[in-house]
Each structure stands twice: as C-alpha cells, then as structure tokens.
Chains A and B, each alone.
Chain A
Amino acid sequence: MSRADTAGAGVRVRRSWSLGLFAGEFTVTLRRWRTLALLAVLAAVPVLVGIAVKIESDGGSGGGSGGGDGGAGPAFMAQVTNNGLFLVFTALAATLPFFLPMAVGVVAGDAIAGEASAGTLRYLLVAPAGRTRLLLAKYATTVAFCLLATLVVAVSALAVGALLFPLGDLTTISGTRITFGEGLARALLIALVVAASLLGVAALGLFVSTLTNSGIAAMATTVGLLTTVQIVDQIPQLHAVQPYLFPHYWLSFADLMREPIYWDDLQKNLGLQALYVAVFGSAAWARFTTKDITT
C-alpha cells in the first residue's frame, strides 16, 4: 500500500520534473538572441506586406491595376484592402514556405547539436532525466516554438491589419459571408494548422541535430534540406514523389477559408506531418539514446 503510494508520488514528481525540464529548456531557448531575432524577423513580415499593400491600394486604386493582375503574390493578397483580417492569412501564406520553417529549422537543429558543441550536453545528461526524456523535452520546446512563431506572425498581422485596413464581416473565398468573430476563430484555427504543418520540419531538424556535434552544421543541414525539398516540390517531372514531401500540402490551410471547409488536403497535410514526426522522431530517439556523448 505504502509502496503504491510512494510509486504514485514518484510518478507525480517525475511528471512535474518533466514539465520543469521542458519549461527550463523553453526559457533558455527564448532567452537566446538568435531566437529573439528570428521572432523579430517573423513579426516584421506582416508589417512589410501590410505597408506594401496599403501603398499600392492608395496609389493605384483608380486604375484598378492592383486587382487586375491578381493571382501573383501570396494568397488572399487581393482581399487584404477590404478586410484587415485577410492580412493574417496573407502573412501566413507568405511566411510558411520559407521564413517559418527556417526559424523552426534553426531552433530544432540547435536542440541537441548546439548543446553538444557548447559542451553542455554532458551536464544535462548528468541529471537523472534520461536521454529519452531530454529528447522529448527538446522536441516539446521546438513544437512550442512552432506555435509561438506562428502566433507571432498572426498577431503581428492582425495588429497591422487592424491599423491599416477596415475590419468587419468578411467574405470567404467561396463567396459566402461570415461574421468577424467567426473570421477570428478561423484565423486561430489556421494558425494552429500552420503550426502543425511545421511539426515535420521540427522532427527532421531534431534528427539532424542528433547526428552531429556542431550546432551550425545541424542548422545549415536542416535549412538546406528544407530548401531542396521545396525545389523538388516545384519540379513537374517529379510529381510522383511530391505527395510524400512534407511541404507539399502546406498551403492547404487556405481550404479552411472555404465554405464548407474542404478537408481532403488538410487531412493529407496533417497525416503527412504525423508520419514525418513518427519516422524522424523515432530515428532521432534511436540515434540519441545509443550515441556516445563525448562533449
């Protein structure tokens, strides 16, 4: 009886200790200048897009040239002038292909390899946390960063959109109208989906991070892989492999702005991310738990 009690208490202690490990990792990550600079760049993108659209709509609204050439530029660009909320979607569409995954790749690539190159990994493992737990805490930190980075873009875009453009009821891309409240709810849902879209890169980055002892090498490899995969995803001749590339369904978050929502590609995207997390997460675990830690 008493043994069961202590065992239960032990589990509780261990759980809170895991949370503590994660919280510690997350604050350390956030305190880095590098992380803050990445977030600042992400927050600046909506400002740039918003000002550019504002200038163009003020200058060229008479000729209507802005709408005429539409289709170029990130998705939803044409609707931003009517409703500031669309700037959230435009900003996410603009940052998702490169800025967001790059930021995630830097944080994920740094997770293990950064500690190794700084010589602090040994000391982390001296604590009775176990390698699996440390790896989980590192991945949880990266996932939290995915969410934080996406929210930074979304909130910055919402602020800029509210400042520069009118807000109000909005038209979905299917032509139906929804209230501003529902629009906000969809914006939040889109932010969550975008954050979830980054989970695959995060797992890939973590795996790469366990392969090397150089933080810079891990970051560069992750971002390089990301760019390569994006290029492969654009080559028409390689269409057979494209449905299995992690960025392939990224822009499917736009389907949340249809009425009714078109779930097919969204499901494919989330399923694909889950697959990448399972494959590279377990590969990272296999590598990290069997690796000789010398630094």
Chain B
Amino acid sequence: MAPYASDDTTSGRRKAVRYVVPVTVVGVAAATIGLVPALADSGDPDLPKITAQQLIEKIAASDVEQLSGTVKITTDLGLPDLGGLAGSLASAGGGAGGAGDGSSADPSARLTELASGTHTLRIAADGPDRQKVSLLEKAAEYSVIHNGADVWGYDSATDEVYHSKSPEGTDAHGKESGRTGAEQAPTPKEFADQALKAVDGTTSVTVDGTVHVAGRDAYKLLVKPKDADSTVGAISIAVDAKTGLPLKFTLTPKSGGAAVVDVGFTQVRFAKPAASTFDFTPPKGAKVTEADDAGHSVADRAKGKGGAGLPGGEGFGGLDGLNVLGDGWDSIATFDTGSGSELPSASKPSGGEAGAFGDLLGSFGDKATGKFGSGTVFSTRLVNALITDDGKVYAGAVTKDALVKAADAAAKK
C-alpha cells in the first residue's frame, strides 16, 4: 500500500509541475511585452549642446534629397468621424462633381483620409524629379508616383490609375494635381517649415534635449506659443542630428491629452532608392483616368451648375475677402458669407440636402451670444470656429472666448 501511495504523491506533484511550463511561457511573454519597450528605451542619446538658432539653421541647411522610409501619421482632431463628415460635406455641398465622378486613384480625393486616425505611409525620394508616396491599407495600397514628367496615382484596391502629365505643363489643372501629388506627403519637414514660420515674439523656441527617432539620434526642438488664447499647447520637432532632417513632428493641444497631429518616421534610410521604385506602367486592364479629362469634366459640370444658378455656387462666389485679425498664434481668420441672413432662405431651393447639412452642423455646435448678437461655436481639439447668425465666420486655433471677443470688437466698428 505504501509504495502506491508514495507513487501517487510523486506523480501528483509531477502533474502540477508540468503545468508550470505553459504558465511560465505566458508569464515570460507578458513580461516581454510589458518590459521590452521600457528596456529598448535606452535613454536619450548623448549629443553636443546646441542652441535653438543653430538647430533651425541645421534644418534650413538640410539638403537631403535621397531617402526612403516609413512614416506614421496619427491625427486626432476631436471630430466624431472625419471620414464620414467629409463624405457628407462633399455630398451636401451639392458636390461640384469632384467626389462623384473622380477616380478613386485621384490624389486629391485621398487627402481627406489622412485627416483622422492612424495611417502608415511609405515615402521614397530621389532628387526633385522622383518621389513616391504610398498609403498602406489593409491588403492594398494607394501610391502616388512622381517620375519626371508623369504623376501617377495607383489604387490597388480598385485597380484604378490616375495619370496627370508634366507638372510644368501648360494645363493649370494638371499643374495643380501634380503639385498635390508631389506635396501630398506631409513629411515632417513640411510640418516643421510651417511651424517655424510662426516664430516671432509670441513664441518661445527652445532645444528640449535629445531623443531617438527611427533609430537615429535627434535633437528635440520645442515650440511653445506665449499667447494665452491659443489652443496650441506645444509643437515638438525631432531633428536628425546628422542630416538636419526633421524626423518627427508632434502637436499637442493646450487642453492636454493625446497629440492632435503626430507625424514621424518609424524607419528611415538615406540611401538612394532603387530606380524601379519610381517606374510605373498601368497594369493591363486597369481603369486609367487622365487628369485632363477629369479636369474638363469637373470644370464643365461646375460651369453647368453655376449657370443653373446653384445657390451654393452663389454663396461661395459672394465671399467677402478673407481677413486675418491679430497675428501670431491667436490670429483669427474671418470672412463674411456675404448673403447674411439671406443665406438660409437662399439655400432653401436647393432642397433638403442643405437643410440636413445645416442640422448636422448645428448638432455639433454650441450656442454663443455676445455683443455681436448670437451664433454657433464649433469646436475641435485644436480649431474653434464661430458662425454668427448674420453670416460672419471667425475661425482660429484660439479659445472660444477669444472668438467671441473678436466678434464683439468687429461688431463695435
């Protein structure tokens, strides 16, 4: 009896011991997932001290022409679903025809996609004549390829091709879309250029230590507005210490929370990309839309609708010139929709669409009143806009109070 009993206890213990293996594997995996990011963050790189001025010059002097890499863009403007909103804007605006007949490979049709959520882009550049930007999608990809005289857009999900000739060409539309193609990638450099334009007495620019970005050592440039009314908290730009190329751009709102815009390389190489990267021949059987054709049809349609006296067209045509109040970070763009109180009545004939659109906007906005009368404030995490009941629009990256103040000041005049 005794031997059996001892046998049982050993085998029982052995049983329990064996289950330790899977449990250990789970534990190790969980620890790895939790700890590796912390361990990989091996402290900030050790770089010589540098002033903000020197760093900005470094950026300006950057002459990187050949690079390839992966860029991650995260945008969080605080809108419910910008994709859907953009779609309804396009349709509610009576659509000059752009959204309806455009090829899904048209670069301008794809830009709005980047305005919300997280996207991965791949970019490659070889001098001013050859660039490629690809937006990675699930099992598909949308690429814009600029190679010498041609700009191609290729949407692999629908197998559609968009082609426009020579950005230097005489056709204005072609020129425009050419530029959209080439400049579509909001590379960190472009973002940085825009942010640095705002540098003046209203802004503090400092070098805020160093960071690792995409495996490279970088300086961190911190740009902070001094204006109390600005909704921009801080802009931080990581600048590659060797090449001076901005590698990461982050815009955080003053209200805190996640960054509104976060664009950065996750991978970058400064070698010349393979020439085949920029070669594109439309696949057999793919639907090719030529920019010229598309341009004409859009223009024709717009003309036709304008002739029919589309109220939307009138409204937009009657815009009073755009004014900018103030300067620096708390500047407010203002314009008069012109038709004033007639706008609602003028838009009535265009049917339920515009009405529904108005309701949609109203549901997003808050009522605001002041000496200027009353209006509606639409707010996102960064930009606020005030539309007064008499048709004036005030918009800027400033607080609601600043908008109301500006409207009051304008009303006094």
For A57, the closest partner residue in chain B by CB is: B285
Q: How far is the CB of B241 from chain A (nearest CB, A)?
A: 25
Tell me, yes or no, whether A67 is within 8 Å of chain B by CB. Answer: yes
Give Cα distance in the complex from A173 to B279, angstroms. Answer: 13
Q: How far is the CB of B124 from chain A (nearest CB, A)?
A: 9
Q: How many residues of A contact B (CB 8 A)?
A: 37
Give Cα distance in the complex from A173 to B143, angstroms. Answer: 9
Of B13-21, B83-91, B182-190, the one contacting chain A is: B13-21
Residues of B within 8 A of A (CB): 11, 14-15, 18-19, 21-22, 25-26, 29, 70, 104, 122, 134, 136, 138-141, 143, 145, 152, 154-160, 276-277, 279-281, 283-287
Q: B18 contacts A79, CB within 8 Å? A: no
Q: A174 contacts B158, CB within 8 Å? A: no
Tell me, yes or no, whether A171 is within 8 Å of chain B by CB. Answer: yes
User: Mind listing 13 A-B residue pairs with CB under 8 Å?
Assistant: A67-B160, A71-B158, A75-B139, A79-B159, A93-B139, A175-B145, A175-B154, A176-B280, A177-B279, A251-B138, A279-B22, A285-B21, A290-B14
Q: A279 contacts B25, CB within 8 Å? A: yes
For A64, the closest partner residue in chain B by CB is: B287
Give Cα distance in the complex from A68 to B70, angstroms. Answer: 29
For B14, the closest partner residue in chain A by CB is: A290
Q: A75 contacts B159, CB within 8 Å? A: no
Q: A258 contacts B159, CB within 8 Å? A: no
- The interface residues of chain A lying within 8 Å CB-to-CB of B155 are 70
Q: B19 contacts A67, CB within 8 Å? A: no
Residues of A within 8 A of B (CB): 64, 67-68, 70-71, 75-76, 78-79, 81-83, 93, 166, 168, 170-171, 173-177, 251, 254, 258-259, 262, 275, 278-280, 282-283, 285-286, 289-290
Q: Which 5 A-B pairs have the closest CB atoms?
A: A70-B158, A75-B139, A254-B139, A173-B156, A286-B18
Q: B18 contacts A174, CB within 8 Å? A: no
Q: B25 contacts A278, CB within 8 Å? A: yes
Q: B136 contacts A81, CB within 8 Å? A: no
Q: How far is the CB of B404 from chain A (nearest CB, A)?
A: 37
For A170, the closest partner residue in chain B by CB is: B283
Among candidates A75, A83, A280, residue contacting B22 with C-beta atoms closer than 8 Å: A280
Q: A70 contacts B21, CB within 8 Å? A: no
- The interface residues of chain A lying within 8 Å CB-to-CB of B158 are 67-68, 70-71, 78
Q: A176 contacts B277, CB within 8 Å? A: yes
Give Cα distance in the complex from A175 to B122, angstroms. Answer: 13
For B28, the closest partner residue in chain A by CB is: A278
Give Cα distance in the complex from A173 to B139, angstroms. Answer: 8
- The interface residues of chain A lying within 8 Å CB-to-CB of B286 are 67, 82, 171
Q: B22 contacts A174, CB within 8 Å? A: no
Q: B18 contacts A290, CB within 8 Å? A: yes
Q: A279 contacts B287, CB within 8 Å? A: no
Q: A290 contacts B156, CB within 8 Å? A: no
- The interface residues of chain A lying within 8 Å CB-to-CB of B160 are 67, 70
For A288, the closest partner residue in chain B by CB is: B18
For B68, the closest partner residue in chain A by CB is: A260
Give Cα distance in the complex from A205 to B286, angstroms. Answer: 43
Q: B141 contacts A75, CB within 8 Å? A: no
Q: B284 contacts A173, CB within 8 Å? A: no
